[in-house]
Amino acid sequence: MLKRKSGTLHRGAAGAVAVGLLVILSPWAAAPAWAHKLQIGQKWSNFSYHHVTGYNDQWEAPMTKAPERWSNHDRVALRSASGANCNVKVGRYGSSRYGTYYSYHVNGGSTGCYITLNARTIAEDSHRFQNFVHSVFTHELGHGLSLADNEHNASIMCECRDRDTMTRRQSHDNSDVTSYYTTGYTRRF
């Protein structure tokens, strides 16, 4: 049973007990990294993105930190570049989501993406605005790196994370990225 409270999903007591029993009873409770792979992510872990919409000073720091922190991983390199196939938009949307990731194919098969951040829902539910923005953008960039949503509490890709406090990729996310990009990685654009 999931409940939304102040913009964060919390598992009710009954759900926590059931999950706890599942972990005890299942020797495969910790899913292998490949089980979390999102097949619609970008093909490479070194992709460029472009901010299509402007945003105010409140957004500047978290929108800069999220890609930098991913790029601190030795197999990831993200950069902002005009004309990039991955477009980042910030706006007020009717959706109840904080952010979304969509991929598409262009130029005979190369993949591009749209990442949107919903200023309306973020403003309504955040207690620490910049942390919340940072968490949402880091999460959506994770989808670009082929990371799927998961239920691992120690993961930026967990939809149940506290967005006001968890802003960085976690060791679980590092393991997934390392697993996905083991061969053929080059740090060039």
Q: What's the rounded mean pLDDT across residues 49-78?
A: 90
Q: What is the mean pLDDT of the chain?
A: 78
**pLDDT > 90 in the chain, percent:** 47
**CA 37, 69, 9, 21 torsion-angle sign:** positive
Mean pLDDT along residues 152-174: 94
Q: 76, 54, 56: which is closest to 66 by C-alpha? A: 76
- What digits encode the pLDDT tens for the residues 9-37? 333 333 333 333 333 333 334 454 545 57
Per the rule left: phi > 0, alpha: psi between -120 and 50, beta: everything else, 118 is beta
pLDDT value at residue 164: 97
- The pLDDT tens digits for 91-127 are 999 999 999 999 887 766 667 899 999 999 999 999 9
| CA distances to 125, 132, 142, 160, 188 from 4, in Å | 10, 15, 22, 9, 41
178 falls in which pLDDT band (50, 70, 90)?
A: confident
Beta bridge partner(s), residue 104: 112
Prediction pTM value: 0.77
In this predicted structure, what is the pLDDT of residue 152? 87
Cβ(64)–Cβ(55) below 8 Å:
no
Confidence of residue 181 (pLDDT cuts 50, 70, 90): confident
Domain ranges, ordered by start, for the chain: 51-180
In angstroms, the CA 176 to CA 169 distance is 11
Tell me what pLDDT residue 143 has: 93
Phi first, then psi, for residue 82 (nearest 5°) are -65, 145
Confidence of residue 42 (pLDDT cuts 50, 70, 90): confident
Q: Which of 123, 189, 148, 128 is nearest to 40 (CA)?
A: 148
Which residues make beta-bridge pairs with 11? 2
Question: Can you give 26-39 as a three-state secondary structure string?
Answer: CCCCCCCHHHHECC
What is the CATH code for 51-180? 3.40.390.10
